Amino acid sequence: MIDVVVVGGGISGLAAARRLSRHGLSVLVLEGSSRVGGKIAAVRLGDLTVDGGAESVLVRRPEATTLIAALGLDQRLVHPTDAKAQVYVDGAAVELPPSVLGVPADLDALAGLLTPAGLARARQEPSLPAPPLPDDVPIGVLLDERFGPEVTDRLLEPLLGGVYAGQARRLSFAAVSAALFARVRAGGALSLHAAQTRRPGDGPVFGGLDGGIAGLVDALAAALAAHGVEVRTGTVVRELAAVAGGYRLTVGSARDPQRLDTRAVVLATPATATGRLLGGLDGPTASAARLAAIPYASMAVVALAVRGVEPVGSGLLVPPGQLPTVKAVTHSSTKWGWLRQRTSATWGGDVHALRASVGRLGEERLLQIDDPGLVDRTVAELRGLPGWSGVELVASAVQRWGGGLPQYEVGHLDLVARLRAELAGRPGLAVCGAAYDGVGIAACLGSAEVAVNKITSDLGSAGERAVVGVKA
């Protein structure tokens, strides 16, 4: 009997499998789609390979940089250029004010972003009564109350939209900005807490890989193969049941089901699938139904190579309602030095690589056209930006992420805590992924570590295993 089956071959599942194998456990990874990597994927933009999903990692957390070093990729670790992001409002691009994920840290810097009335309202925030927060609240609703709706609409929404593709007035303050929420719970002006929470002098916030962050998945998959971990793609897990000595997984089609027994299971699947599998256990966890009901946003990344424009800054955030479809544009070859060099070598110095993000929660209809149509519509919207009327398309690629981003609504952290408490009573069963502790790569790796710690505690570990000749 195999020791552990990891269900789901995204970054969380692959990282969990690597750690489990290094504890001397036999591991099998089952992935329902035709590829591993989850929301990390490379796409071909003409003759270039670029990221079509996640493009960076948070380097102020240790998980991603530690894994990058362990996989021998530390020489490829790069940081964005000093180019700054802008926000598109009322037909103009303005500098992005300092904030903590959309919570203003400098009220005077809002002058270019807000109307005069909106700025006057926001400047009242430090003088408003600010009692302690007894419970979690929707972050957008709180900002409406503290600063006025313009700050929510023009600063918070575009920043959170880039992370969750969601709606700020539904997202949990405690889940999307835990450090700031911990300070605000005691009371006091939100802008002052934000100013004290920001750490602009602590070095780079984000990092990537020369050649694209998708190289992290390639290296991780190679490391698993070197460790003897089997990865099966195109294998959907239909059922999970508890049996003597562990668990039984039903895989394959309903017409030809196959059974697979294992001592332990890590569910690294999206919340809907995880909730369904947990709900099929005898005496299901009380949180399974709520987990399965977590909403997911669908979006797409439209990668473009263009000429006829000189992008300013690292990108442009677009608040809801400012453009019909596009919610953000990343000036990729301005943001990443390695990509600028390769774009110039491929097409010449007048061509730039971009990424347009399309789609928010509740806007799935915008994605219901074919790829050429989505590219055409995106380019048409870009031509309406100041200074972009002469844009010419050189190459394009579309990567769709149907149901790609979980929404952390009010009470999310309580749900995660209850689920893990319930799983504590089920030896050899753990969960990880973007549905729990954060949607970024570093957060997903952190959740994988939590799952591995539970499994190794439940099963016992053969200890960290030295793999001769394999750094990873």
User: What confidence score (pLDDT) does residue 109 get?
Assistant: 97
The three-class DSSP label of residue 259 is strand
Cβ-proximal residues to 299 (8 Å cutoff; 6+ apart), any chain: 165, 327, 357, 358, 359, 360, 367, 400, 401, 404, 405
What size, in residues, is the chain?
A: 472
User: What confidence score (pLDDT) does residue 198 get?
Assistant: 85
* 436 contacts 291 by C-beta, under 8 angstroms: no
* 13 contacts 268 by C-beta, under 8 angstroms: yes
In the beta sheet, which residues pair with residue 260?
249
Q: Which string of DSSP letters, residue by residue, matches 335-365?
A: H-HHHHHHHHHHH-TTEEEEEEEE--TT-GG
The three-class DSSP label of residue 275 is helix
Tokens of 416: 């995660």
User: What confidence score (pLDDT) does residue 431 get?
Assistant: 98
User: What confidence score (pLDDT) does residue 284 get?
Assistant: 63
If phi over 0 gives left and psi between -120 and 50 gives alpha, with beta otherwise, what is residue 212?
A: left
Cβ-proximal residues to 364 (8 Å cutoff; 6+ apart), any chain: 298
Q: What angle do CA 240, 243, 244 make, to 5 degrees?
A: 160
In the beta sheet, which residues pair with residue 104?
99
User: What confidence score (pLDDT) does residue 201 get?
Assistant: 67
Tokens of 166: 């969601």
Give the chain's domains with CATH numbers: 2-42+212-294+408-459 (3.50.50.60), 99-197 (1.10.3110.10), 296-403 (3.90.660.20)
Q: Which string of DSSP letters, residue by residue, matches 207-236?
A: EEETT-THHHHHHHHHHHHHTT-EEE-S--
Pairing, β 77-78 against β 57-58: unpaired
* 414 contacts 172 by C-beta, under 8 angstroms: no
User: What confidence score (pLDDT) does residue 467 get?
Assistant: 38
C-alpha span between 281 and 279 (Å, rounded):
6
What pTM value is reported for the model? 0.94
User: What confidence score (pLDDT) does residue 461 get?
Assistant: 53
Looking at residue 458, its amino acid is: D
Burial 157-172 (b: 16+ CB within 10 A, else e): bbbbbbbbbbbbbbbb
User: What confidence score (pLDDT) does residue 179 get?
Assistant: 93
C-alpha distance from residue 254 to each of 251, 258, 277 (Å): 9, 9, 15
C-alpha span between 84 and 266 (Å, rounded):
40
User: What confidence score (pLDDT) does residue 466 get?
Assistant: 38
User: What confidence score (pLDDT) does residue 383 get?
Assistant: 97
Q: Which string of DSSP letters, residue by residue, matches 68-128?
A: HHHTT-GGGEE---SPPEEEEETTEEEEPPPEETTEES-GGGGTTTS-HHHHHHHTTGGGS
DSSP H helices, 227-358, are 271-279, 288-292, 332-335, 337-347
Per-run averaged pLDDT (10 residues), the chain, 472 residues: 97 98 97 97 96 96 96 97 95 96 96 97 97 95 98 97 94 96 95 89 88 98 96 96 96 89 98 96 83 96 97 96 95 97 97 97 92 98 96 98 96 96 95 97 98 95 42 55
C-alpha span between 249 and 242 (Å, rounded):
9
